[in-house]
Amino acid sequence: MNIKKLTLTAFFAAIAVAGSLFSFPVLGSRCSPIQHLVNVMCAILLGPWYGLAAAFLAALIRNILGLGTLLAFPGSMCGALLSGLLYKWMKKLPAAYIGEVVGTGIIGGMLSYPIAAVLMGNQTAALFTFVVPFLISTVGGTIMATVITMTMKQTKVLARIQQQINS
């Protein structure tokens, strides 16, 4: 186990929880764009499994504190995992961005339907009910991540941080 990556996983989860204070409701879900910024950063800096762990921890803590709903689990976790996997395979920043948007917005949005219908008792939920609000949230967070990571790449800070984490 990599202590640096575990520490950063907890740090990123904390940022996502704090960032959920800046959330907004859309069609029965609570959109938290900072979670998606964190997902992309974890994908690029930590990899898919630590990113998945950070998303799970953030969703768990947000639910315990009443800052999120059960929909935070499929939304954030699918995006974090797909973003991390695509970045690991392709080593390109756009792969992480696409993975986050598709993973959260489409896959996570669709996986939220059974959770909303069965566990949350939402009788009006349908398969695509949460796709649009999740896309709104993830696109906002991914745009922020794009600005930050592209700046980090241009200034060579990203490569130095990646090297420090993996050394």
Averaged pLDDT score across all residues of the chain: 93
80-109 mean pLDDT: 98
Cα(104)–Cα(132) distance, integer angstroms: 10
pLDDT at 143 > cutoff 90 = yes
* Tokens encoding 93: 């920043």
Give per-residue pLDDT as tens, 108-137: 999 999 999 999 988 888 888 899 999 999
* Tokens encoding 130: 């949460």
pLDDT score recorded for residue 17:
96
pLDDT at 37 > cutoff 80 = yes
CA distances for 38 relative to 12, 35, 73, 99, angstroms:
6, 5, 14, 13
Cα(156)–Cα(160) distance, integer angstroms: 7
pTM of the model: 0.93
- Residue 150 identity: M
pLDDT score recorded for residue 127:
86
Q: Are 49 and 84 in contact (CB under 8 A)?
A: yes
pLDDT score recorded for residue 167:
87
